Amino acid sequence: MLTSLVVGVLLMNVFAAVLVVVRAPVYGARLYRPMLLNLVLSAAPLVVLGLAVVVLLPLVVVGTPRPVVWVVGAVLGLVWLLLLPNSGYLITELNLNHRREGERVPEWYDVLSVLVLAMSGVLTTVLNVFLVVLVALVVGGVDSAEPLTGTTARLLEGVLLLLVAFGIYLGRHVRLNSWDVKHPRHLVGKVVGHLRTPGALGNAIGFTLIGATFFALMYLVMIGPVVRGLVDVEQLRNMTAS
């Protein structure tokens, strides 16, 4: 089931990219490059996560001291977390602001293409969170699927989805990017200045809570059956072994 999930998410991203690219030659319209850039940024967290697995698993296997493993994991995890909102950010493409007067692109095509684009971002976000929970459990020495249904996993998932939603808000309304972290003082000043404007704090809280709830429900729909399947397989193996 996990393999099917990964393949399905990758195919959705490819489908989104194809729809963006073929729009130009098929309808004689300009290529909307920001969408392609956003797709690349959406995939970046998965690339970092793949790198983390390649680096961390050998360290765990060879018995590297646990503090060293956690330090390396924390550094890679921070990079991953800074990039993660870029995946969910694709939901902001639903406003159709790329359409221009005079283009012969049917509205139905743009509606479907931005819907696919947004869903690719949602699916990529959910997959990222689930995979990082798995990596955290493995690095922590857990060799059972049962903790995936536990309180610790739920808290980690909830915190990550809240941060994703807040990151999307900052990207959309404060126009911040992941690499703005290189200038922390400017970043903090910009965020604080924005939140002090009338109504901004309420909007930020509302967007974060509603956005996180949406991602959480998608997480439940997508990941719930996968976790249940992993737990059932493990229990069946234990019964067979005993």
- Cβ-count burial 89-111 (b if 16+ within 10 Å, e if not): bbbbbeeeebeeeeeebeeeebe
Find tokens 């991203």 and name the residue: 13
pTM over 0.85: yes
Tens digits of per-residue pLDDT, 148-202?
888 888 999 999 999 999 999 999 999 888 888 888 888 899 999 999 999 999 9
Residues of the chain with pLDDT under 50: none
Q: With DSSP H G I counted as helix, E B as strand and the rest as coil, what are the percentages for the chain, rounded to 5?
A: 85, 0, 15
Looking at residue 242, its pLDDT comes to 62
Q: What is the DSSP string of 75-102?
A: HHHHHHHHHTHHHHGGGGGGG-TT--TT
Rounded to a whole number of angstroms, the CA Rg of the chain reads 20
